Structure 1
Amino acid sequence: MAYVNNIRMFLRVYELGSMSAAARDQRTSPAVASSRVAELEKHLGVRLFNRTTRALHPTEHGQMFYDGARGILDAIEAAEGTVMEATQSPKGTLFVSAPLFIGRRIIAPALPAFRAEYPEINLRLRLSDRVVDVTAEGLDMAFHLGPLVDSDLKVRMISDCPRLLLAAPSYIARRGNPESGAALVEEGHDCLNLRFPGAREFQWTLQTDGGPRRYEIAGSLETDNSEVLTDWAVAGCGIVLKPRFEVAEHLRSGALVPVAAATPPYPAQLACLTPSRRLRDPKVQVFSDFMVARCREAIAAADP
């Protein structure tokens, strides 16, 4: 088992490009991670990484070993999954990511019920509104809200999520209600921006009579946290673009109202992304089934 653990550590160091990042991923110390890689190098009789004070890069032997090692670990995990499927007792650790609102308001509250049904499955839940790299970050599953891009990941569609442009009544009283995306820009409205590497929310694509049109929006407030954007909008700081299910309570209370009705946003796609090699893993299957159902219930409950 020690050899398998050494291979697993090597793969995570290779994929994350950092000994410390791999150590965090495997819930151990950088010293242990370095020791496991060193043991593997000693066993193979080659150096797998070139190390400097600033960076770590795989050697030619490391690159050669990676593909075979990845296949070995995938085969072991597939075999374990077959056994667990036969015994009908999914177990192990799942690494899952989700956007903040979905993670905090839907997935996290449902976890006690999931754990009661599957007590041998442990979960490592990472919440972030940034775009994650499922493969590079070693995730078993990622809940994704937004445009889907071509990849080798298995996509399980959950729902199309209607979106709205919204503002607080206090903002509308102060700045007016823009009728369209063009007015949004021409009148210089404050737009609340979601910014992080890879984010595109500062360019809102809206529906017009002539088809989709992208508007370059601007504002004085930015964050990488979508829930903070909602709080700012409720406080009257500007206009926000949001999925309806995230702001349903504020719509019902009147804290937020739709604006720019002539050019509404396109729906966002909510999907569950899984590496192909994880598809037959029973713990992945049961978690996906359980949480996809909860997500669909929450989105349906937000409809007016």
Structure 2
Amino acid sequence: MSYFDNIRTFIRVYELGNMSAAARDQRISAAVASSRIAQLEEHLKVRLFQRTTRQLHPTEQGQIFYGGACKIVEAVEQAEADVESVTLTPRGSLLVAAPLGIGRRLIAPLIPKFKEEYPLIDIRLRLSDRELDITGEGLDIAFFLGLPKDSTLKVRKIADCPRVLCAAPNYVAQKGWPKATKELVDGTHDCLNLRYPGAPEFQWPLQTPDGTQKFAVKGPFESDDGDVLTNWALEGHGIVLKPFFEVREHLKSGALVPVLEDNAPVSVQLGCLYSHRRHQDPKTRLFIDFLAKPMARAVQS
């Protein structure tokens, strides 16, 4: 399998443009990754990359080889998937990504149960509220809340996820109850916003008598971690827009209270993304099917 491993490593170096990043992705050392590329170049008698101190750039030969290398890996993965479908013993690893709230509350608790049922499948879970490059980061499955942008990927909708505007009672006692959506825009009230590199401007889609409208809300607090926003809301620092399931217990206990209920935020789609090729992999389908129903129940109950 060494030549095949060399090809796999070459593909990730090509896609990531960095030997160390590719090594981390492959769970090997940078020295091993470099050695695999060197072996491949020696076998092919060509240079596949032009090396600089910070980045690798594929040569013309490297660009040509990449297309064929991808076909080789896809063919082998498809053959393995076909065998797994027949033998009913799926194996291997899945690299799964999800937003922090979904990952911590809905996905992580289900993974040990999935592992018990399918002991030959390993799950590598990556949690982040930032936008992910599914292809570039080598992900098998990426769960999301919202509308996915990449139309080249397959989308599976799991459920519509209700959301709520809420704040702590001590915030309401200090600032008063918000009476109109314009108070979220003109600075009358402080809004707690999710922000990460490349995120769009703050736009909260709220229901109005004229239909759904987006409001460019304002506030002095922002974070790329949704749970940080929840904690700030609990401490009385502002109004937060959250998926209902993430703050259900806080609403039940009274630690948070709903506000502007006549202008509730629209529900958001909970779903997952994966490539067309990954859909042929039995373990991908098994994992999504295993999680879909309990996740849907959790966000809608």
Q: Does structure 1 residue 96 correspond to structure 2 residue 125? A: no
- TM-superposition CA deviations, 1:209-260 (whole Å, max 9, x none): 3333322222222211111111111111111111111111111111111212
Give the drift of 1:186. 2.4
Q: Does structure 1 residue 198 correspond to structure 2 residue 198? A: yes
Q: Which blocks of at least 5 consecutive residues in structure 1 are unaligned?
A: none
Question: Do the aligned residues in 2 keep the contact of 1:192 with 1:220 (CA within 8 Å)?
Answer: yes
Output the CA distance in 1 between the equivalents of 2:180 and 2:110. Answer: 39
Partner of 2:21: 21
Question: Do the aligned residues in 1 keep the contact of 2:186 with 2:218 (CA within 8 Å)?
Answer: no
Output the CA distance in 2 between the equivalents of 1:53 and 1:241. Answer: 44
Runs of at least 4 residues off by over 4 Å:
none
Q: Does structure 1 residue 269 correspond to structure 2 residue 264? A: no
Partner of 2:65: 65
- TM-superposition CA deviations, 1:49-77 (whole Å, max 9, x none): 11111222112221211111111101100
Partner of 2:108: 108
Q: Does structure 1 residue 229 correspond to structure 2 residue 232? A: no
Give the drift of 1:201. 6.5
Output the CA distance in 1 between the equivalents of 2:141 and 2:201. Answer: 24
Higher mean alpha-carbon deviation, 181-190 vs 44-53, is at 181-190
Aligned residues: 301
Identity %: 59
Partner of 1:281: 281
1:125-136 alignment to 2 at 5 Å? 125-136=125-136
Q: Which blocks of at least 5 consecutive residues in structure 2 are unaligned?
A: none
Residue identity opposite 2:140 in structure 1: D
Give the drift of 1:148. 2.2
Output the CA distance in 2 between the equivalents of 1:109 and 1:82. Answer: 30
Report the TM-score when normalising by structure 2: 0.96
Partner of 2:218: 218
Output the CA distance in 2 between the equivalents of 1:91 and 1:203. Answer: 42
Give the drift of 1:134. 0.9
Output the CA distance in 1 between the equivalents of 2:47 and 2:188. Answer: 58
Question: Do the aligned residues in 1 keep the contact of 2:147 with 2:269 (CA within 8 Å)?
Answer: yes
Output the CA distance in 1 between the equivalents of 2:135 and 2:105. Answer: 25
Residue identity opposite 2:197 in structure 1: P
Aligned CA RMSD, in angstroms, stands at: 1.4
Question: Do the aligned residues in 2 keep the contact of 1:47 with 1:59 (CA within 8 Å)?
Answer: yes
Output the CA distance in 2 between the equivalents of 1:201 and 1:259. Answer: 22
Give the drift of 1:155. 0.6
Residue identity opposite 1:80 in structure 2: E
1:169-180 alignment to 2 at 5 Å? 169-180=169-180
- TM-superposition CA deviations, 1:30-51 (whole Å, max 9, x none): 1111111111111112211111
Partner of 1:33: 33
Higher mean alpha-carbon deviation, 204-213 vs 153-162, is at 204-213
Partner of 1:76: 76
Partner of 2:248: 248
Question: Do the aligned residues in 1 keep the contact of 2:162 with 2:300 (CA within 8 Å)?
Answer: no
Partner of 2:209: 209
SS at match of 1:247: helix
Question: Do the aligned residues in 2 keep the contact of 1:193 with 1:201 (CA within 8 Å)?
Answer: no
Distance 1:201 1:289, change over 3 A: farther
Output the CA distance in 1 between the equivalents of 2:148 and 2:138. Answer: 19
Partner of 2:259: 259
